[in-house]
Amino acid sequence: MILRKKKKRSGILVSAALRVMHPDLYRAGIKTQVQLGEWATQYQLEDMCHHLKHWASVFNVVSVICNRRSPPHRDPKCRPEAFDIMTTAGVYHPVIMDFMNLGIKFLYDSGSMLASSCCLVRHHMHVQQGSWIVTAWYMRDSIHNFVGTPRTDYAKYGNVQRSDPVEKKDV
């Protein structure tokens, strides 16, 4: 029960982060979940309906990786324009997440969250010692295709909406 609550909290957190980073993908994830629920209801798949009601993320897949190193790889079953979000927890020595084809390395301490197109970005990490968990949240292309969710555009920095600064008034 405790693990289920933590997974739900983590799902809400990564969904909120995606809402800020890639609003169109966030909406596509919601649309996919709704359409999948309608399909499950139509075919009276009660177990699936139950699990979809309790799934707290716009992502449709989560992988939990415990105390394993990650060899250099890409995730070809995901949409290239989609973001995967990876979070860490545990007690371990500092780790580096290497986005190899971009030439970028990130300090990947416990409690970190990284997002990227893991279909396009070759990445890996290696932990020598410690106890740690990585959760990788992503969207399977096949699930979006199954329910007919259109592809989103790539996230662009120019899509960020800024609010007007509040004018300072003399008091």
Burial 125-162 (b: 16+ CB within 10 A, else e): bebeeeebebbbbbbbbebbeebebeebebbeeeeeee
Enumerate domains of the chain plus CATH numbers.
2-146 (2.60.120.10)
Largest CA distance in the chain: 64
Q: How far apart are CA 74 and CA 109, in angstroms?
A: 21
Count of H-run helices and E-run strands, the chain: 4, 8
> What pLDDT tens digit does each residue of the chain (171 aa) get?
555 666 788 899 999 999 999 999 999 999 999 999 999 999 999 999 999 999 999 999 998 888 777 788 888 888 888 899 999 888 877 788 899 999 999 888 888 899 998 889 999 887 777 788 888 999 998 999 999 999 898 877 665 555 555 555 554
